[in-house]
Structure formats: structure tokens, C-alpha cells
Homo-oligomer: A and B are copies of this chain.
Amino acid sequence: MSSTASAPAKPRPAPPRVSLLRTRKEHAQETAQDYVEMIGELIATTGEARVTDLARRLGVTHVTVNRTIQRLRRRGLVTALPYRSIFLTDAGRQLSEESRFRHQVVADFLKSLGVPAAVAYADAEGMEHHVSRETLEAFAKHLRPGRDRAG
């Protein structure tokens, strides 16, 4: 290991740096965000959110939806009774609206850069969950350069 030389020495193993921790925690929240966002959308467009509809729209089986809904129930984001459709709690509705807004801003921002709409929406679906408040504001600012913080 130290005869012919080829390794550039070892200037300290370096302290912890990359926070995969944050990424992992975000993953745990991504599902919740995508579900409540879709639940809100279904309620707004069809009047109710059913397990089957969610499964179809999210591209997973009804089994997966069912169990996820139970988790969201435990987290206080939705209410659901056996064989009945799904409702958002106040917290769920709030998260739903935040997620929907952020998703839209990210997608619009990408489109404004010239990314094709379909690609922009697809990318936004994944990127949205990793966009901090600061970055979201930078995106929004870029979208409306004139105004600077009015609702």
C-alpha cells in the first residue's frame, strides 16, 4: 500500500458532509405529499376520492393505496372509514394545497426554461419534493420578475 506509490496520500477521512439523512426523510414525505395532492385533485374534479381511483391515477395497485391510506390516517392527514371514500383533514388539505402549489411552480419554471411540457411535468413530479422554500421562491421570482412578493 505504500511501496510503488499511486495513492495521493490520505488527508484525513473528512467529517460527515452529505446529508443522505435529509434525502431519506424527504422520501418518507414524498408519498404523503403525492397522495394528499391527488386526493385533493380527485375531490375537486370528481367529488370524491376512492381507493380505486387513486390506484389508477398513481399507477399502483389498490392494495398499496389501501395500506398507504392507513399510514396517512395515523399521521392525521386523512380520515377514512371502511368501504367509504377518503377525506382530507385540515392538515391534509393544507399539505395538499402546498404540494399542489409547489408542484405547479416547479413545472411552470421548467417550462419557462424551454423544457417541453411533458418532460417538465414528469421532472417536477420528482423534483418538487426536494425544493426548499428558498429555491421555490427563486423559481417564483424568476417566473414573475416584476412583482416581488405580493400575493
Q: How far is the CB of A18 from chain B (nearest CB, A)?
A: 6
Find the B residue at minimum CB distance from A30: B23
CA distance A86 to B4 in the complex (A): 19
Q: Is the CB of A47 within 8 A of B123?
A: no
A74 on interface, CB distance cutoff 8 Å: no
Q: Is the CB of B132 within 8 A of A122?
A: yes
Decide if the interface of chain A is mainly helix, strand, loop or mixed: helix
Q: Is the CB of A13 within 8 A of B46?
A: yes
CA distance A125 to B18 in the complex (A): 8
Question: Which residues in B have their C-beta under 8 angstroms from that of A22?
Answer: 122, 125-126
Q: Is the CB of B139 within 8 A of A113?
A: yes
Report how many copies the assembly holds. Answer: 2
Find the B residue at minimum CB distance from A142: B113
Question: Which residues in B have their C-beta under 8 angstroms from that of A12?
Answer: 46
Question: Which residues in B have their C-beta under 8 angstroms from that of A142?
Answer: 113
Q: A20-B59, A30-B23, A59-B16 are in contact. Are A131 and B138 (CB under 8 A)?
A: no
Interface residues of A in 1-59 (CB under 8 A from B): 6-23, 26-27, 30, 34, 38, 44-48, 50, 52-53, 56-59
A63 on interface, CB distance cutoff 8 Å: no
Question: Which residues in B have their C-beta under 8 angstroms from that of A115?
Answer: 132, 134-135, 138
Partner of A20, one of B60, B110, B130: B60
Q: A7-B47, A10-B46 are in contact. Are A23 and B138 (CB under 8 A)?
A: no
Per CB-CB distance, the 5 closest pairs between chain A and chain B, nearest first, are A126-B130, A7-B47, A113-B138, A127-B130, A13-B53
